[in-house]
Structure formats: structure tokens, C-alpha cells
Amino acid sequence: MIIDYVGVKEINGSLIVLDNVENASFEEMVDIRLDNGTVRHGRIVQIEGKRIVVQVFEGTKSISLDNTRTRLKAKPMELALSPEIMGRVFSGAGVPIDGLGDVYPVKKANINGTPMNPVSRIYPRNYINTGISTIDTLMTLIRGQKLPIFSGSGMKHNELAVQIVRQAKISDDEDNNFCVVFAAMGVKNDVADYFRRSFDQSGVLSRVVMFLNLANDPIIERTLTPRCALTAAEYLAFECNMHVLVIMTDMTSYAEALREFSSSKGEIPGRKGFPGYLYSDLASLYERAGMIKGSKGSVTQIPILTMPNDDITHPVPDLTGYITEGQIVLDRNLEGAGFYPPVSVLPSLSRLMKDGIGEGYTRADHQALANQLFASYARVQDARSLASVIGEEELSPVDKKYMQFGKLFEQHFVNQGYTENRNIDQSLDLGWKLLSTLPRTELDRVDDTILDRYYITDTERLDFDNPNGDENQTDDE
């Protein structure tokens, strides 16, 4: 027997309250039919006896106390899945919006997913060659990893994400198994369009599943968008054996949507008004990356988030950093100096890097080189802060060397073209060439055997006089 409940008892933000409801179950889906014939969707978020609280995905605009008929669907929120979802565009709640009709489902899955059993996980160790020197050398991306980009408004994070997608795809020898799931949460229409165009230009559009919740779409839908996207990604990875790269932008908008929803439910706020469960909630998204035994596929996540006021201690980047396996931090000063990609090397990190590089993966000297570059570049910062007090002229000869190293490092190593794809050997060799501008005694993180092999003593080969950076020259040695 199907029962329609007429009217609602209370409306508060995106929540409606119904009374005298029989047989409701937690997180069950409901349809809300308005008098004018439109249908909205919702989900039960709280039950108290016969009183239920429903969140309405499309918002409560023009709902009154009497003009609705609500029907319980007797199932949790599910996404229709089939291999045909590739190349399709969905709304943030998983409804097709490209006009090509509904997906004929091979399978339906609860969008909340279930936690992966830690015993079933395969520890990720295959590196993805992104062709970007800073990332490949210093914060290597590993298949099955979650590596967010911490950025700020106006910085070139979207370009970087597109470049990674394009170049990672080229270097992939199992090309057929590659696909992208793109989740847009509260981004501007232009940005969504930029991604679509870029995917089209690099020829991957037919392998992209898009979930779009734009800046003016309802916020409840936004809280569902990454869950729909990850459900699609898990299906493609673990049941269709594909290597899935999930790009989620912008996680800050997602967290703000969660905050809005939480405060309308009257929950006790934690830091900066975000709900106390923000960590658990973000973790339930990020932890859906990985590889499992018995499947050839993988889910790799590159979430993008903008740090409000470039503040890395803001709750969203802070909690994200605690969950994800490292981060790529972009820096406004580098961006201002005209360097692309403006990757701030020191706070960036890849936790899975140590097991995915070196002999058999990249090159035996990789770890030593990375350690030394980090240590030396950290020393550059000391020299710079000293120079800002006493002037560059007064620095000791060694500190002057560091100043020069810092400049060259940013111009030639960090800075690289939007279309430039450096292979791992080029990047590593460039790193050694830069380190060779420092006195050998300063390189205290590296074994002598490695230094003997890679340290360049011939100063004529340390030729960097091309400040505007046509970096293609670096591979001619």
C-alpha cells in the first residue's frame, strides 16, 4: 500500500518536518509532489517516533504547509550504474542533464558506499608520471592515492589539474583502462566549461563522467555530488577494472554546504561554525580512494580546494591534510612572479612516495635527490630572510650560493610550460644540475657514491643563462 502524506508540519531552510509518518526508515528517500505538478526529492535525516525530518535536495522554495504530497520510496539513495555512464553528464544528485535520457542500470548502488576493509586494500606503489618536475620528483603521485591541491582563489589549480589529466593519460600504457570522474561542487559555470573544453581538446571527453553542481545549484545536492561521483568511480574501478582519476573541485564549497545544512538542522557547531563531524564526513569521501585485492582497477583522487584567505590552518585544508596522503600546495608569490605551476615545494608532500620510487620504479637516486632538494631549498628560505634584514651583499659566500640556487630552482625546476611534458629522467637530471651549483660539501643528505655519479664538477655544464625559461634546452645534455 502506498501512502501519500499531505502537507508538512514545519519548514526550516532546506529541511521539512512531517508528523504521523508510519514505517519510515533512516536515510530513506522520499518524493515530494507539489500542487503544481513538480516533483522534488528528499532524504530522511532524523526520526523521532512518527515525526520525521527530511532534507529536500532542490530546496524548499515555494513549499507551503499544505501544498505537498510526500511519498516514502522505501529505499536509500541509489545511483544507477552501467559502463555507459562514461561520456555522460549528471546533476549533482546523479540525474542525467545532458538530454540523452536515463541510464539503463546494470546495477544500483547506495551512494554512501561501505567502508573498504583495511585487510583487502593493496598498498599503492605504482607511480603516475605526470610530466611535471615538481610533482614527479618531490611529491610523486601514486596510483590509488588521494593527493589534494591546496590553492586559493585566482590561482592556476584548474590548469594544473587538466595538465595532470592530459599528461598522466599519455604516459599510461594501459590506455584503454583510463577514465576520469569529474565532480564539480559549487564551481562557476565558466570553470565547469573550462574543464569540459579541456577534456574535449585532449581527447578524453568520451572517458569522462561529469557530475555538475554549479555555484547557483541547491546546496543539499552539493552534499551528494562527491558521493555520487565516488560511487561511479568505485563501480568503474572495482567492477569494470579501470584506472579512475577522480577530480573533485571545490572541496571548500562542499564543506560550506555541509555547514549550511548542519546549522539549519540546529547542530552544535565546532571550529569556524563547521559541524563537529566534518572530519568523519570528509574522511568518508577521501577514504574511498585506493586499490583492492581481486580487482585490477584503482581510484586515485585529486581533490581541489581553495583555502579561504590562503590560510592553510582553515578547518577544510587542515582536516583534509590529516586524511589525504600528502598535498600539493600552490603559492601566490610564485604565481605573482609568473611561474607556472606555482607549486610551493616545502609544505607539499606525498606520503606514499617513498615506496613508489627508486630502483625498479623511477631511479635509484630519486629519494636522495628529493631529500637534498628539500633540505637545500629550506636553507634558501633562511638565506632569504637573512638577506631581507642585512641585504644580499652582506651574506656569506655560501648563503649567496643558496640565493642563486633558489632563483635557478624556481625559474627552471618549478617553472615549466603548460604543455611541457618532462619525463622522469629529465626532471631528475635537472635536479642534480641545480644541486651542482652548490658546493659539494653542502650536500649532506646524499651518500658519496651517489654524489660521485651525479654531482657535476664541470662548471661549463652548469649553464642556466636563460632566465625566461625555455626549459626544453635542459634535455640536451
Partner 1 sequence: MEDVIYGINGPVVTVKNTRTFSMMEMVHVGTQKLVGEVIGINDKMTTIQVYEETTGLKPGDPVTGTGAPMNVLLGPGIIDNIFDGIERPLKAIEEISGSFIARGAAVSSLDLEKEWNVTIKVKVGDMLSGGQIYATCPETAIIEHRFIVPPTINGTVTKVQPNGNYKLTDTIVTIKDDKGVEHDLTLCQKWPIRNARPCKERLPATIPLITGQRVMDTMFPIAKGGTAAIPGGFGTGKTMNQHQLAKWCDADIIVYVGCGERGNEMSQVLNEFSELIDPKSNRPMTDRTVLIANTSNMPVAAREASIYTGLTLAEYYRDMGYHVAIMADSTSRWAEALREISGRLEEMPAEEGFPAYLPSRLSEFYERAGRVETLCGSEGSVTIIGAVSPQGSDFSEPVTQNTKRFTRCFWALDKALAYARHYPAINWMNSYSEYFTDLDAWYRENLGDDFIKYRNKITSLLHEESNLMEIVKLIGADVLPDDQKLVIETAKAIRVGFLQQNAFHKDDTFVPLEKQKLMMKAILHLYAKAKNIIAAAIPISRIMQLGLFERLAKMKYDIPNDKPEMFDQLISDIDSSLAKLTV
Residues 299 to 358: which contact partner 1 by CB under 8 A? 313-315, 318-319, 321-323, 325-327, 346-347, 349, 351-352, 354-355
Q: DSSP character for 61?
A: T
Q: 555538475: which residue's cell?
A: 212
Contacts to partner 1 from residues 217-256, by CB under 8 A: 238
- What is the C-alpha to C-alpha distance for residues 126 and 123, in angstroms, rounded to an integer? 10
Out of 10, 190, 267, 463, which residue is the one contacting partner 1 (CB under 8 A)? Answer: 267
Radius of gyration over alpha carbons of the chain, in Å?
25
Out of 120, 189, 423, 473, which residue is the one contacting partner 1 (CB under 8 A)? Answer: 120
- Nearest to partner 1 of 47, 215 (CB atom): 47
- Provide the mask over 424-463, with x wherever binding to partner 1 is found by CB under 8 A and - wherever it is not: -----------------x--xx-xx---------------
Which segments of 266-410 are extended strands (E)? Answer: 298-306, 326-330, 343-350
CB 69 within 8 A of CB 33: yes
Residue 342, C-alpha cell as written in the block: 606555482
374 binds partner 1 (CB under 8 A): yes
Angle 238-247-206 from CA coordinates, rounded to 5°? 70
Out of 99, 101, 119, 309, which residue is the one contacting partner 1 (CB under 8 A)? Answer: 119
1 binds partner 1 (CB under 8 A): no
Whole-number minimum distance, CB 196 to partner 1, in Å? 30
Whole-number minimum distance, CB 279 to partner 1, in Å? 5
34 binds partner 1 (CB under 8 A): no
Amino acid at 287: E
Out of 42, 94, 218, 275, which residue is the one contacting partner 1 (CB under 8 A)? Answer: 275
Contacts to partner 1 from residues 125-144, by CB under 8 A: 144
Contacts to partner 1 from residues 161-220, by CB under 8 A: none
Bond preceding residue 347 cis, omega within 30 of 0: no
61 binds partner 1 (CB under 8 A): no
Residue 119, C-alpha cell as written in the block: 585487510
Residue 314, C-alpha cell as written in the block: 582553515
- What is the C-alpha to C-alpha distance for residues 32 and 6, in angstroms, rounded to an integer? 10
Out of 203, 269, 336, 338, which residue is the one contacting partner 1 (CB under 8 A)? Answer: 269
Out of 36, 216, 385, 419, which residue is the one contacting partner 1 (CB under 8 A)? Answer: 385
Continuous segment of H or E residues that includes residue 69:
strand 68-76
384 binds partner 1 (CB under 8 A): no
Out of 396, 466, 472, 473, which residue is the one contacting partner 1 (CB under 8 A)? Answer: 396
Helices (H), 153-218: 157-170, 189-201
264 binds partner 1 (CB under 8 A): no
Closest CA to 401 of 453, 436, 446: 436
- What is the C-alpha to C-alpha distance for residues 403 and 401, in angstroms, rounded to an integer? 5
123 binds partner 1 (CB under 8 A): yes
Whole-number minimum distance, CB 267 to partner 1, in Å? 6
- What is the C-alpha to C-alpha distance for residues 254 and 320, in angstroms, rounded to an integer? 12
Span of 26-34, 62-70, 154-162, 330-338 interacting with partner 1 by CB under 8 A: 26-34
Out of 19, 83, 174, 276, which residue is the one contacting partner 1 (CB under 8 A)? Answer: 276
Whole-number minimum distance, CB 303 to partner 1, in Å? 14
**Residues with Cβ within 8 Å of residue 132, at least 6 apart in sequence:** 160, 163, 164, 167, 341, 343, 416, 422
CA distances 375 to 34, 131, 332, 443, Å, are 63, 23, 22, 9
- What is the C-alpha to C-alpha distance for residues 461 and 477, in angstroms, rounded to an integer? 8
Out of 36, 117, 309, 459, which residue is the one contacting partner 1 (CB under 8 A)? Answer: 117
271 binds partner 1 (CB under 8 A): yes
- Nearest to partner 1 of 208, 352 (CB atom): 352
Contacts to partner 1 from residues 70-89, by CB under 8 A: 76
- Nearest to partner 1 of 82, 110 (CB atom): 110
Per rule CB under 8 A, count of chain residues that contact partner 1: 86
CB 384 within 8 A of CB 360: no
Q: DSSP character for 122?
A: P
25 binds partner 1 (CB under 8 A): yes
Out of 106, 215, 375, 456, which residue is the one contacting partner 1 (CB under 8 A)? Answer: 375
26 binds partner 1 (CB under 8 A): yes
CB 75 within 8 A of CB 109: no
Out of 9, 107, 121, 296, which residue is the one contacting partner 1 (CB under 8 A)? Answer: 121
